[in-house]
Amino acid sequence: MQSILSAKNNKRKLLVVLVDPDKPAAVEKLYPYLSLPDLIFVGGSTGGQTETCIAQLRQHTNRPILLFPGNIAQFTPTADALLFLTLLNAQTPDVLINPHIQVAQRVLQSGIETIPMGYILVDGEHKSSVEIATKCTPIPQNATDKIVSMAVAGQLLGKSLIYLEAGSGAHTPVCPDTIRAVGSQLQVPLIVGGGITTPQALLDAYEAGADMVVIGNHFEQYPDEIADFVRIKQEQYGE
């Protein structure tokens, strides 16, 4: 968390590659490029092959690996840190708090660095795996005030990060106006993900106020483009 805060304070933007342990063939294609992004997130919506995936990633990158679990079966203390995620637009205790209760003592006893994160699912015009798994209704992108209020509520509840997510495979990323509105009200770092498939969309998110951008599906399909995205980010913002 200290390195993330340092990057924000120095206006250094971070690029994150999201690795899905449920897709080993896709992960293998990413190996040659995983020393390039700033951070690696590991997480999926279903399976529990996370520990094996992290062990394999260690052979191909020295970048910090943060656990971004879709369920408690994916928890492992072998990551460098755990994003302890609260889905802020969850509608039932089974999603909002019960999983945290079930895994809390294991997390504490493991000693892993734990970063509380508020996660907001925004409509990306595609039914994402998160929406299916949690039965959570995404917030329309034009409901800007609601999204801002939810993000601010997360910050006031003590979340160290806020994540605006359009969902895996989103047809429409979180729009810059929404990112700008949320970012203007936050003191904590803002993460944006879902549907970012071009370098221009990456720069648009950064310019609007995203401190970190997460890309998963696109890099699964075009792993060699990681180098282009990293180069463009560095040309604009430096290392």
Report DSSP letters for 73-111, one per residue: GG--TTSSEEEEEEETT--SHHHHTHHHHHHHHHHHHHT
155, 238, 230: which is closest to 199 by C-alpha? 230
Task: Give per-residue pLDDT as tens, 137-188.
Answer: 889 999 999 999 999 999 999 999 999 999 777 889 999 999 999 999 999 9
Residue 129 scores a pLDDT above 70: no
Mean pLDDT, all residues of the chain = 92
> What average pLDDT does the segment 218-225 reach?
96
Model confidence at 125: pLDDT above 80: no
Average pLDDT of the segment spanning 195-200: 95
H-run or E-run covering 214: strand 212-215
Tell me the two tokens of residue 204. Answer: 């648009």
| Cα distances (angstroms) measured from residue 170 to each of 12, 40, 127, 141 | 26, 20, 8, 12
Residues 104-118 have pLDDT tens digits of 999 999 999 999 999
Q: Which residues contact 133 (CB under 8 A, 6 or more apart)?
A: 45, 46, 70, 71
- Of 38-52, 153-167, 188-202, the least confident: 38-52
| 148 in Cβ contact with 180 (< 8 Å) | no
Spatial contact of 40 and 21, defined as CB atoms under 8 Å apart: no
Residue 47 has pLDDT above 70, yes or no: no
Query: What is the residue extent of each domain of the chain?
Result: 2-237
Whether the per-residue pLDDT at 128 is higher than 80: the answer is: no
Phi then psi for residue 215, to 5 deg, are -130, 130
Pick the CATH number of 2-237 from 2.60.120.620, 3.20.20.390, 3.40.50.720, 3.90.1310.10: 3.20.20.390
pLDDT at 211: 98
Confidence (pLDDT) at 137: 82
Taking the C-alpha atoms of residue 133 and residue 143, their distance in angstroms, rounded to an integer, is 23
Q: What's the first-to-final CA gap in the chain, in angstroms?
A: 18
Determine the pLDDT at residue 133: 65
Q: Are 96 and 134 in contact (CB under 8 A)?
A: no
pLDDT of residue 91: 76
Q: Write phi, then psi, for 87 (nearest 5 degrees).
A: -75, 100
Confidence (pLDDT) at 184: 97
> Do 151 and 162 form a contact (C-beta atoms < 8 A)?
yes
Q: Give pLDDT, residue 46.
A: 67
- Do β-strands 212-215 and 14-19 pair in parallel, antiparallel, or remain unpaired? parallel
Q: Is the pLDDT of residue 45 over 80?
A: no
With pLDDT > 90 as the criterion, what percentage of the chain qualifies? 79
- What share of the chain in percent tops pLDDT 70? 95
